[in-house]
A and B are shown apart, each in its own frame.
Chain A
Amino acid sequence: DAGVIQSPRHEVTEMGQEVTLRCKPISGHDYLFWYRQTMMRGLELLIYFNNNVPIDDSGMPEDRFSAKMPNASFSTLKIQPSEPRDSAVYFCASSLASLNSYEQYFGPGTRLTVT
């Protein structure tokens, strides 16, 4: 298996632009998570899905952030409009309900820079 796939790996954009991050979870996994990592705040959960349904979005910073999972093999995290403080590494992770409760598989991340 290729593991969790994220694209793009790097994104540089200007303040005010829309940014879309993409994630393909491991085939067969029924949980999908979006995390954000910065030096100041560490690794934070933004939102997670179970069977394509959002379960907990309490970590989404504000209305500028939105996430969708139209099918079991694809999810997007959108920021509109982007701001410099959104600069971070965004990770997508997936897991299988039958595995150990907290065994998640992380993607390589998308490094976002907003200038």
Chain B
Amino acid sequence: LAKTTQPISMDSYEGQEVNITCSHNNIATNDYITWYQQFPSQGPRFIIQGYKTKVTNEVASLFIPADRKSSTLSLPRVSLSDTAVYYCLVGSDTGRRALTFGSGTRLQVQP
């Protein structure tokens, strides 16, 4: 799986938009980009997945530039409940379905 690099931590305030960028310079042609969220004392939760350009769902947006060497998870108008660790993962759908988690980005939302 391609190695990913993301900030260790970020701080924000309620109501702000938060963008977390993940670098994956060695992404392969078949690789997808997936983001998970983990609250304290809970298992990770799937947020969004994409291959190129932009993907949006009810929780977040995922922006992927043309070269796909990075991606940005965008959380609109965060609230205190968005305080969590966010993981960026890269992998291909070539049979191995297992996830390899990095250290993630710890997002702290302040009132």
Contacts and interface: CB of A to CB of B under 8 A. Distances in A.
B15 interface: no
Nearest to B44: A106
A50 B97 CA distance: 9
B43 A91 contact: yes
B89 interface: yes
Interface string B78-111: 0000000001010111001111111110000000
B32 A101 contact: yes
Contact of B97 (A42, A43, A101, A108): A101
A104 to B, nearest CB: 7
B54 interface: no
Size category, A interface:
20 to 34
Given A102-B91, A103-B46, A45 B99 contact: yes
A31 B96 CA distance: 11
A106 B45 contact: yes
A106 B46 CA distance: 9
Interface in B27-73: 32, 34, 41-46, 49
Contacts of A101: 32, 34, 49, 91-93, 97
Given A33-B98, A42-B101, A42-B103, A102 B44 contact: no
A104 B99 contact: yes
A25 interface: no
Contacts of A103: 34, 46, 49
A75 interface: no
Contacts of B100: 45
A31 B98 CA distance: 9
B58 to A, nearest CB: 15
Contacts of A31: 97
B102 A100 contact: no
A107 B104 CA distance: 19
